[in-house]
Amino acid sequence: MRATVIHGPHDVRIEEVPDPAIHKPTDAVVRVVSACICGSDLWAYRGVASRVAGQRIGHEFLGVVEETGGEVTGLVPGDFVVAPFVWSDGTCHFCREGLHTSCPEGGFWGEVGSDGGQGEAVRVPFADGTLVKLPGELAGEEKLLPSLLALSDVMSTGHHAAVAARVRPGATVAVVGDGAVGLCGVLAARRLGAGRIIALGRHEQRTAIAREFGATDVVAERGAAAVEAVRELTRGEGAHAVLEAVGTEESMRTAVSVTRDGGAVGYVGVPHGGSAGVDIAQMFARNIAVAGGVAPARAYIPQLLPDVLSGAIEPGLVFDRTVHLDDVPDGYRAMDDRTALKVRIAF
Minimum separation from the CB atom of position 163 to its own copies (A): 11
Instruction: Write the CB contacts of 113 (distance below 8 Å, at least 6 apart in sequence).
Output: none
Query: Which CB atom, from 285 or from 312, has the smaller least distance to its own copies?
Result: 285
Report how far residue 147's alpha carbon sits from residue 296's, in angstroms, rounded to the nearest whole number. Answer: 18
Instruction: Annotate 9-45 with three-state secondary structure.
Output: CCEEEEEECCCCCCCCCCCEEEEEEEEECCCCHHHHH
Report how far residue 219's alpha carbon sits from residue 225's, in angstroms, rounded to the nearest whole number. Answer: 9
Report the candidate in 221, 289, 301 with the shortest Cα–Cα distance to residue 260.
289
**Cα dist. 10→43, 224, 248, 326, 338 in Å?**
10, 32, 21, 16, 14
Query: Which CB atom, from 34 or from 40, has the smaller least distance to its own copies?
Result: 40
Where on the chain is the footprint of its own copies (CB under 8 A)? 93-94, 97, 99, 101-102, 164, 237, 252, 261-262, 264, 267, 270-271, 274-281, 283-294, 296
Query: Which CB atom, from 211 or from 286, has the smaller least distance to its own copies?
Result: 286
Strands 121-124 and 217-219, bridge-based pairing:
unpaired
Helices 204-213, 180-191: inter-axial angle, 10-degree rounding? 20
Query: Which CB atom, from 62 or from 171, has the smaller least distance to its own copies?
Result: 171
Instruction: Write the CB contacts of 228 (distance below 8 Å, at least 6 apart in sequence).
Output: 221
Amino acid at 301: I
Query: Which CB atom, from 119 or from 129, has the smaller least distance to its own copies?
Result: 129
Query: Which CB atom, from 53 or from 281, has the smaller least distance to its own copies?
Result: 281
Query: Which CB atom, from 258 or from 288, has the smaller least distance to its own copies?
Result: 288
- Evaluate whether 109 touches 122 at the Cβ level (below 8 Å): yes
Minimum separation from the CB atom of position 183 to its own copies (A): 20
Q: Taking the mean position of all CA atoms in its chain, how far away is CA 85?
A: 8
